[in-house]
Every structure is written in C-alpha cells, then in structure tokens.
Amino acid sequence: MTKKAKMIYSLTCLFSLICTAHSSNAPSSYRAWLSYQKIDKQKILNTYQNLFQELSVAGKSPIIQSSINELQIGLKAILQTDLKISNSFSKGLIIGTAKELSMKGIDLDVSNLSSEGFLLQSDNQKLILSAKSDLGLLYGAFHILRLIQTQQALNTLDLKENPKIQHRLLNHWDNPGTVPEGRSYVERGYAGDSIFKWDELSKHEQRYIDYCRMLASTGINGSVMNNVNTAKKGLEGWKLLTPEYLPKLKYLAGIFRQYGIKMYISVNFFSPVIVGGLPEANPNDPKVQKWWNDKANEIYKEIPDFGGYLVKADSEGEPGPMKYGLTHADGANLLARSLKPHGGIVMWRAFVYGHKKSNPDRAAQPYDLFKPIDGKFDDNAIVQIKNGPHDFQVREPVSTLFSAMPKTNQMLELQITQEYTGHERHVCYLVPQWKTIFDFDTHAKGKGTEIKKILSGQVYKYKHAGIAGVSNIGDDTNWTGHLLAQANFYGFGRLSWNPDLSTEEITAEWIKQTFGHNKKIMKVVSKILNTSWRTYEDYTMPLGIGFMSNGCPDNDESHFRPDPAKRKKYHKADKKGLGYDRTKNSKGHSHYAGQYHKPVYDMYKNVETCPEELLLFFHHLPYTHKLKSGKTIIQHIYDAHNDGVKQVENYYKEWQSLNGLMDAERFEEVSLKLKEQIKYAAEWRDSINSYFYKLSKIKEINK
C-alpha cells in the first residue's frame, strides 16, 4: 500500500472511530470480543436478567469505577436492561474487596488469592465478586462478562482465580517522533500506523480507553510504549526520555492506571550520551550512574507507578555494555539500580548475536553470552528471552536459556504480530504454537519442568517473572489488520493469565464473544483457526527448516515472500540434502542441541527420536531419507506445500457458507483476506517446490 493510500485509509478509519467509538454503533470489527451481543435465547436471557436486577458496590476508586462502567455497558447490551445501583448487599450483583465487604456483614475467605486474583460466589439470589485489591475486582468483572457472553451457568459459582504469571505485558514496536523514509510508524506492524498519536493524544482518548479495556479484559497488566530499536537508522524512540515526552507519557499513564496497566518504555543504553550529552555511557562511570538515577527520579515524580525499562543492547545496531568490555549483567544492573528505589524493573533482552568470536551458529549464541552470567543480575532485572533461538519462526525449538539460568529472573517473549507468519494477509492462529512452548518440558529439575512452571515461579524462586507479547495492534478500525488476528491478541492475554487453558477453550471463548453462538459459525471459524498454524507451516517452512522468507529491509514486504536461495546459511540445502546439523560437538558444527538438559538432548540428537516437525532444525539429511509416513523428505516437502494451498482454498470455500450469518462488513473483510491468501500460498508452494526440485533433481510424485 502506498503512503498516500495508507494516509487516506487511516483518515477514513479515524473519521469512523470519532463518529462511533465506544457506542453500540461502532463497527463490529472495532468492538472485537467486547461487542456484548444481546442473548437471543429467551430462557437464558431471563435467568441472567433475574440475577442482575441490581448492583451493590462497596468502596470507591478509579479502578472500581472502571469495573462498574464495564459491567453497566456490558450488561445493558447483553441483557437489554439497566443495572440498578443499590445499597442492599443482599441480592443481585455485589462487588467489593474482602475488607470492604466485611464492613457490610459479608465475610469471605480470600487467603488463597493473590493481589490480582478474584473470587466469585453465587446462589439463585446473588452473585458476589470479591478480591484483595481493586484490580482483582476489575479482572473479576471482565470474567463475569466473559461467562455471560459464553452463556455459562452463574447460579452455583464458587470460583477463585489467580493469574499464574506475574508480569503480563504487551511490547509495542511503535516508533515515536519523525520516522525515516522507508520506515513504518510500527516496526513489523501490519494494522496501520501507531495508535499513539503523540502530538494529539487527547483527540484519541476514547481509543486509548478502549485499548485499556481490551488489555484488562484478558488480564494484561503492562504495556511497553515503543520499539526496542530506539535510535538506529534515524529512529527517535530515545526521545521518550526527554522532557518533551514526559507530559505525554503522564497523560497516557493516567488512562492506563484506571485499568491497572503499568506503563513501561524502551530505552537506549547510550541515552546518557544521546539525551544527556555525556561523553560516554560506561556503567562504571559515576556521572553515568547519576544521570540514570536523576532520570528515574524525574519520571517517577510525574508517574509514581511507572513500571520501568525494556532494553535491546549490543544487538542489531543498538549499542550496549560490550563496547566497554562489560557484560549484559553489568548493563542491566546500571538501570535496575536507578529504578529500584521506586519499585521499577528493567527487562533486558537476550536477543543478541553476530559478535566476533561467536559460535558460527546464530541459534547457539545467546546461551554462550548469558549462561556464564547467571546469578549476576540484580533482583529487579529480568532477562527477556524469545521463545526460540532464532527469530519467531513458524516453528523452532524452545530456547535453551529458559533452563539454563536458575538464578536469574526470566521473561518469555512471544510475537503476536505476524512478522514471519504471514503478516495481516494470512490467517495464522498462534495459540497452538504458544501452547507447545508453554507445555515444553525442559527437564531442568527432572521430568515435569515445563516452561509454564518456570514462568510462574514454581521451579525457581524468581522475584520477578513474566511474559511479553510483541503487539499486533495498529490504528486500523479492526485493531489488528486481519479480523481473525484479533484471536491472537485475545489468546495471548488469556494464556498470559493462565497458560493451562487449552487452545480449544480460548478459541471457543473468542468466537462466542466476537460472533455469537451460531453453530455453523462456531464450526467453521474453529476449524480455520485451529488448523491455520499447521497449514501456514505446510506451505512455507515444514520440518523445522525455518528462515525461507525474504530478507530484512524494514517495509511491508520484509519477511513475507519466499526467497530460499538467500537463506542457505540457515537451511544448508545442497544437491544431496538439507537441514542444519546441530548435534555434533566438533569443529565446524554447532552442537546447539547439547545446550539442553540430557533427556532433551538425547531426544533431539537422534534422528529416530527427534520430533519430525523439528527434524531439519537439528539434522542435515538426504532428500531420500524416509520419514515415519514412509515418504521421503523431498516428497513430504512437495506434498506439504500442495496440501497447504488446498487447505487455504477450503478455508475460503467454508467461509463463503457463513454469508448472511454475520454482518456483511466482517464477512466481506475476511472473505477478501482468504481469497488473497490462496494467491500468496500458491506463490510459496511454487517457489519452494521449484527451488528444491532444481537442487535435488528429484521429481515430485503426483498423488
């Protein structure tokens, strides 16, 4: 899309939102899963209406007011009735912290609740929502609305819920300030420009409120405002540390605070030089230490609940402590100590590669850098680790770092935006992928040491742990570019709250809240979503080979189209075979597999036990090697690409059967996307199959 076309489209979206945001007339795609559709089954409607005749609230605060506002908006839309405010505390919906409700004669046991957890108890006369904190009440309010939208029984509830992961953050890769020619206002963003209009924030306040509603409804409790690339190639994210931006951050933080969302920013390690004018940024320089301390004091004076910093250092052109012969722990601790008096944290990314004397295998390099400094990070510093050793590929093994740093706070970084999984032009539901990551057993402390247990603090005694998702949000009307990509946004939040939820549960929740309860819609959309990740993998990069897309100019086409010839260093394809041998501990080999604990290493190092979906990530094999199916590798590649295209063709056909069962706007939007996806999938099939035929000279066996 040209810049002019993008500008016209953005202005059209903006006009639509100014006219309709936060009202029943807002576009369905804008309201997402908070559409609060009327229940059409009278019996169910009557049951809910009888229960929600009045609302009694104990306590006052901005967060409690947000809870009340949401319940009033949601219940009025769903039940078509106003919620009467009462002080009876004897029937209907009763809300208050346990401390406040005890003063109303209602005693509840909340001893097992965390500061963000909530309790729901009900009988035929009343439903009680309680918590230890106001924020717990907000999460509980959204859960009540989720239960109603999914038409769950509420008359015999006895429920206690706590989030299983402490820090649950969106990471925006938005670029504030002036963006250089050829760069986007959102790096790896495919849903329009940034929602953060820094020069006219107040004009978009309702959108920021709705943004916060979406985050809080899924349990997300923090947001990083800007791209981790803050200065390279003319970017200006570093300016968020300047006096010009502090009032703007303060304004947004005031909105976030009403929904329990902490604000964080990405900062440049060289900020003392870039912003402060110092001659160096050496962590050992007292002047540098003072600069960071003073900057933290300045921020917290205006934003007392500021969360802290996210840092990309010594990586892809962003400077870091290695310039001074120091470690990443030295760099992280400099910032952590400036934040600690205020309760802030620093999240330090482990996405570091390409340095001199590094292992030639990019996958192995983060472990080599970070494992030796385990235990050297301060207790308010967190190492943020991408899910895999490469870069958000459609499939790759779980990073070895998660089981290698028991003495260092850790955070998982996932990518909600679809940088390598089709942008906004392919449906690729990532919840099934993320489930394989959460459920992966590292064997760090024997069998049963899954990633989700490490992140929840069950395995190691971390003071801080968390999860971050690189946002797929932009200023498009539907927020995410592709309507069905909203399911990735929703699914990330739900899994960050509870990684034990199943793919099927999350899928059903999203569909019912977004489209309603029509059985045909449920069946078709569930099938498309739940199979789409594997389908995308089939027609792009099967068997774990990874990195088959075009390279890295930062524009809309980057990492989108097939370009296998320029990715040879990753797939190692030649005339006889393909794949990267990462199992041998000898010169010229990676031995990445050896970074895992022994049971995992033993599984990956042997061709017979290595999961086939990762076979070519760990092994270089002949094209004629036979898989468990009896097919050769080369025939599997041909067939997977052919079958993947056919599956997308079926998605389009099945979506057409939903015509008339939903509003025309959303039907046509997805229909167009799926039609285009057929074309792009065919391009991938033809490119990859042709490439491997030319290399191998082995013809495809037609079915």
Domain end point (choices 126, 161, 196) = 161
**What is the chain's Cα-based Rg?**
26
pLDDT at position 12: 37
Residue 703 lies in a domain: no
pLDDT at position 329: 99
Same domain, 90 and 53: yes
Same domain, 175 and 134: no
Residue 677 lies in a domain: yes
Residue 263 lies in a domain: yes
- Residue 658 belongs to a domain with what CATH number? 3.90.1330.10
Same domain, 185 and 110: no
Q: Which amino acid is at 306?
A: F
Same domain, 661 and 572: yes
| Total count of domains within the chain | 4
Catalytic residue among 40, 294, 316, 500: 316
Catalytic residue among 134, 210, 396, 419: 419
Is 111 exposed, middle or buried, given 0-12, 13-18 or 19+ CB atoms closer than 10 A?
Answer: exposed
DSSP strand pairing (222-224 vs 262-266): parallel
What distance in Å separates the CA atoms of residue 224 and residue 473, rounded to the nearest whole number? 13
Domain end point (choices 121, 144, 161) = 161
Burial 345-380 (b: 16+ CB within 10 A, else e): bbbbbbbbbeeeeebebbbbbbbbbbeebeebbbeb
Catalytic residue among 116, 174, 330, 391: 391
pLDDT at position 586: 59
Q: Is 391 a catalytic residue?
A: yes
- Residue 129 belongs to a domain with what CATH number? 3.30.379.10
Residue 510 lies in a domain: no
| Cβ-contact 339, 346 below 8 angstroms | yes
Same domain, 449 and 385: yes
Question: pTM for the whole thing?
Answer: 0.95
Residue 594 lies in a domain: no
Closest CA to 547 of 389, 681, 677: 389
- Residue 487 belongs to a domain with what CATH number? 3.20.20.80
Of the chain, the end-to-end C-alpha distance in Å amounts to 39
Same domain, 186 and 131: no
pLDDT at position 553: 62
What distance in Å separates the CA atoms of residue 233 and residue 240, rounded to the nearest whole number? 17
Specify the 3-state DSSP secondary structure of 236.
coil
Residue 589 lies in a domain: no
Same domain, 63 and 210: no
Residue 524 lies in a domain: no
Residue 598 lies in a domain: no
Same domain, 131 and 176: no
Same domain, 439 and 306: yes
Same domain, 348 and 426: yes
Same domain, 253 and 305: yes
pLDDT at position 703: 66
Torsion angle defined by CA atoms of residues 493, 495, 501 and 505, in that order, rounded to the nearest 10 degrees: 40
Return the half-sphere exposure (C-beta side, CA atoms, 13 A cut-off) of residue 137. 32
Could you report the average pLDDT of every consecutive run of 10 residues in the chain (703 residues)? 40 39 67 96 96 96 98 96 92 98 97 98 95 99 99 96 99 96 92 98 98 99 98 96 98 99 99 98 99 99 99 95 98 99 99 85 94 98 98 98 98 99 98 99 98 97 98 98 99 99 99 98 99 99 95 78 94 97 77 96 98 98 98 98 99 99 97 99 98 98 82
Domain end point (choices 104, 139, 161) = 161
Same domain, 497 and 438: yes
| Domain containing residue 11 | 3-32
